[in-house]
Amino acid sequence: MSNQRTSNTDNESPQISIDFSKSIVACAAAYGENAEAMKQYLLEGEKKALQLNNRGPLEFDTHGQLTQNIVDAYSEYGFYIFENVISDIELSDMKTDLTQMKANFPVMPDQKINAQGEPAIAINSTGPRLIWSKPLGDPLGGTEIANGRHQIKLFEPKAAEDAPLASVFIVLGSLEFSEACLRAYGHPDLLRAAATICGEDFAPFHESLFIKDAGLGAAVSWHQDGDTHWDSEEFEENIHGFNFMAQVYGSTPVNGVWVVPGTHKLGKLDIKAMVEASGSERLKDAVPIVCNPGDVVMCNRQIVHGSFANTGFEDRVTVNFGFHKRSSVLNITGAGIHCAAQVFDESHILERSKLIGYGIDARAQRYPHETSYVYAPLANSGVDCKWHDDIKSSIKDYNLRDLSI
């Protein structure tokens, strides 16, 4: 890898390349009478986050599994930060795709043209693809969207007078719009990590981009992602799967996701009660995910997490993609959040898994000297997953088959 950063050990603190001290001051100021409380919350959260022993390089044992110390730390905290996973070359490709994608966003939610007057991205999609928000808003909090899992609404700071009326903050089914994201989806070490947590027959979940532009980025209220298995007799900490969150520009206490470590083991929680017990939306025991560009976070979907509106100066773009245990999705009726509720039978899962195969092959074409991952469910299926121009149109609306639980 060409990124030059130092991983933390037991004897040294992690080296974070982003200076977000000015953003902490700006963020706190946006909270008015709660400015000092917010400033202390951000600073104390950062300190606690950097003291956790849950970051370092992707490492595997002689059997090709994540090393036990990584597995143990992930189990304890519910998230782990893999450092220096995405190279500078790959980050550059992602930024190029993101720039082109943003240029092709509709000018407003109800428009079908981009700023150049040309047909905008995703206007012919069958399902929702672009999620919009007013600047610094919390469009999900306190609503029935996503089965009402965002139980409270976070504070919505005042945006600048010249801010647009609305901007895109989530792109669903992002692999259709970015080959760089598709290639990251086929990253061999990340897929090996997925196999460690979810078994070699792991199944796909869903892919998206979270865009938290400085001064615009929306809040995402505290929530847990899982939906279908909370009352299952087989409930355990990994039953709702996990997300990889690849950071294009890095993640700070101001623009990043905050999590409450260990809550992934506690079942479905009453977040309203947690807020009441904390005395504010600043949840006790929460810590921010602080990391550099090119780091990839593995985050359990059951953990309580959320993010505040980005009132700072640093953009955040997270390339998000997740995986499940096959037993968690096979013949299960989906939650109806990322796509229509439907039964995930063998044929459905196989069809959706083609995207893993396409990601692996697209990556092999871009990085021919890298050893590709062999995804067991496709290896002997007879399914052709060669990635080429003629196949690109076939993945249109692929997210309608997301395995949303």
pLDDT for the residue numbered 339:
85
- Indicate whether 9 pLDDT > 70: no
The pair of structure tokens assigned to 102 is 């943003």
In a domain, 17, yes or no: no
Residue 300: closest CA among 198, 153, 182, 177: 198
Tell me which residue range forms the domain holding 365: 24-401
pLDDT for the residue numbered 253:
97
In a domain, 158, yes or no: yes
Q: Which residues of 293-325 are buried (b: 16+ CB within 10 A; e: fewer)?
A: bbbbbbbbbbbbbbbbbbbbbbbbbbbbbbbbb
Query: Total domain count for the chain?
Result: 1
In a domain, 16, yes or no: no
What gap in Å lies between CA 393 and CA 405, rounded to an integer? 27
Domain containing 236 — which CATH number? 2.60.120.620
Q: How many helices (H) and strands (E) does the chain have?
A: 10, 12
Q: Which residues of 39-61 are buried (b: 16+ CB within 10 A; e: fewer)?
A: bebbeebbeebeebebbbebeee
The pair of structure tokens assigned to 320 is 């998000």
In a domain, 253, yes or no: yes
Are 1 and 16 spatial neighbours (Cβ–Cβ below 8 Å)?
no
pLDDT for the residue numbered 4:
36
DSSP 390: G
What is the average pLDDT score of the chain? Answer: 95
In a domain, 201, yes or no: yes
In a domain, 7, yes or no: no
The pair of structure tokens assigned to 133 is 């928000």
In a domain, 249, yes or no: yes
pLDDT for the residue numbered 380:
83
The pair of structure tokens assigned to 396 is 């249109």
Q: What is the pLDDT of residues 346-393, one digit of tens each?
A: 999 999 999 999 999 999 999 999 999 999 999 988 899 999 999 999
The pair of structure tokens assigned to 262 is 């260990």
